[in-house]
Amino acid sequence: MENDSDKQLIEGEIADYLLTDDGILISYSKSILRTVENIAANVALVKKITANKKVPLLIYLKNSPVPDKETRKFSTEQLPQIYTAMAMVSKRGLAQLIMKILFKFQTPPIPIKLFTDDEKAREWLRQFL
């Protein structure tokens, strides 16, 4: 990471965050069940971190329980409210599984791409700054 090492990690219930100097929000996902309530609280946290500005998100995925249909729908609706694009970094297979679950019957509401290399993910996200 360039110049971001001195920044404080902002802790949330479903993920911890770091806003980089270049304006990319990094999310360290936690292995907990997502609910409408904790997603709503997370959206509020992200808006606070970004001063209500939509930003590109670099998310480090973790295995977590599959949320119910209502939570998946709510989560999908919230994405374009807070992010310009999302790069998912994970071990092979995990991100693909999450994409299948979340976007089985519809296309993602923002540009989303899967990566195993975080530098490539950052490069891709820079176009959405």
pLDDT in tens, the chain (129 residues): 445 667 889 999 999 999 999 999 999 999 999 999 999 999 999 999 999 999 999 999 888 898 999 999 999 999 999 999 999 998 777 777 777 777 777 788 999 998 989 999 999 999 999
Q: Which of 66, 64, 76, 65 is nearest to 29 (CA)?
A: 64
SS3 label, residue 55:
strand
Whole-number pLDDT of residue 82: 98
Whole-number pLDDT of residue 2: 46
State how far the Cα of 125 lies from the Cα of 111, in Å rounded to an integer.
9
**What are the beta bridge partners of residue 25?**
19, 57
Whole-number pLDDT of residue 36: 98
Whole-number pLDDT of residue 4: 64
Whole-number pLDDT of residue 91: 78
Whole-number pLDDT of residue 127: 98
Whole-number pLDDT of residue 100: 76
pTM for this predicted structure: 0.89
Whole-number pLDDT of residue 3: 52
Q: Which of 65, 52, 86 is nearest to 14 (CA)?
A: 65
